[in-house]
Amino acid sequence: MKKELIFLGPPACGKGTQTNMLSEYLGFPHIDTGSLLRAEIAKGSDDGKIAKTFIDKGQLVPPELVGNIIKNRLKEDDCTAGYVLDGYPRSLAQAQMLEKINKEVDSEAADFKAIYFDIDTQILIDRIVHRQSCPKCGEIYNKKFKPSKKENYCDKCNVELKTRADDNEETAKARFDTYYRETAPLIEFYENKGVLHKIDANGSIDEVWSRLLNIINK
């Protein structure tokens, strides 16, 4: 049976790492809306050209356009057996739109799971405020959880690591407040449909991966 997997979770919860691993493990495409929009713009598709006009003005791409781009992607042959969708939906309206998209795309019954990464907020704040990245290769480090071998320098490039100006506790808390406020209706929506699976995202990558596989293989 086709597997349709979507992932919900606050910033820095680790779902990006896990969804990449899961995509490779299952052989399904990993689809995230940011990369998808950039790809459409890069190839100059009609939807990409329209999206670019909004992005160039600093405006949000209309939800109907994002939905259409996602629908076209889910129609592609590599999604026949399933997909791993990350970063969508982010609102109740988008969740309802995804339901319509799946009904249009699916030729038979599918196994749909919404997986919510449940994690302690203080851990997330620590991950963000201690985060560093290499300006050359993009490698991510964390002073507390994953420090570089040479303090403040990339292990690969030996380039001085940078910290984003908005990676501070005040900004992080504001981002989480916004996320939880906007996501609460989604959690209830999928809970009521009996397709929500909560995963304890506290712990190491391997520990979370093991818990994720238990859910996927049910």
CB-based contact 182:90 (threshold 8 Å) = yes
Residues 6+ apart with CB under 8 A from 144: 126, 127, 130
Q: What's the Cα-to-Cα distance from 60 to each of 48, 56, 85, 163, rounded to whole Å?
A: 13, 10, 20, 26
Q: Out of 136, 150, 164, 193, pick the active-site residue.
A: 164
Q: For residue 96, give both structure tokens.
A: 């309802």
The set of long-range contacts for 95-98, using a CB threshold of 8 Å and a minimum separation of 24, is: 95/186, 95/189, 95/190, 97/63, 97/67, 98/6, 98/67, 98/70
Q: Out of 38, 162, 175, 198, pick the active-site residue.
A: 175
Q: For residue 138, give both structure tokens.
A: 């993009």
Q: Out of 15, 73, 127, 211, pick the active-site residue.
A: 15
Per the annotation, the verdict on 181 as an active-site residue is no
Q: Out of 90, 146, 162, 173, pick the active-site residue.
A: 90
Nearest residue to 158 via CA among 144, 148, 168: 148
Q: Out of 2, 73, 127, 131, pick the active-site residue.
A: 131
Per the annotation, the verdict on 175 as an active-site residue is yes
Per the annotation, the verdict on 211 as an active-site residue is no
The rounded Cα 18 to chain-centroid distance in angstroms is: 9
Residues annotated catalytic, as ranges: 15, 90, 131, 164, 175
